[in-house]
Amino acid sequence: QVQLVESGGGLVQPGGSLRLSCACSGSMFSIYTMSWYRQASGKQRELVATILNSGSTDYADSVKGRFAISRDNVKKTVFLQMNSLKPEDTAVYYCNAMSALLNFWGQGTQVTVSW
């Protein structure tokens, strides 16, 4: 069983930065594809960024050049560095761990971008 715990959300002004963390309990963290999703109020959950166990990354077009995903397999943690934040980035951000057979979600952390 894997548990994911997100942290680092909060209120930030437009143009500001936040760094989200997702700590993973359980074994074999390094085999999982790790992703960040977000869900704004009244909208569907959308994929923001993904990092494979190889270290390869992919991003939604809306965050390319502003967000960066990374992972530390020793600390079993995945990060999302968010820069140049916009009001439309406001959402609950969720961490996801996925392998061929398993799929786990964190409880989410709120990010609000507003004056």
pLDDT digit string (tens) for 18-30?
Answer: 999 999 998 888 8
Determine contact, residues 103/1, Cβ cutoff 8 Å. no
* Cross-strand partners of 20: 80
Span 56-91, pLDDT tens digits: 999 999 999 999 999 999 999 999 999 999 999 999
Tell me what the mean pLDDT of segment 90-103 comes to: 94
Q: Please, what sign has the CA dihedral across residues 73, 76, 81, 86?
A: positive
Check residue 29 and give left, alpha or beta (phi > 0: left; psi -120 to 50: alpha): alpha
Task: Give me the percent of the chain exceeding a pLDDT of 70.
Answer: 100
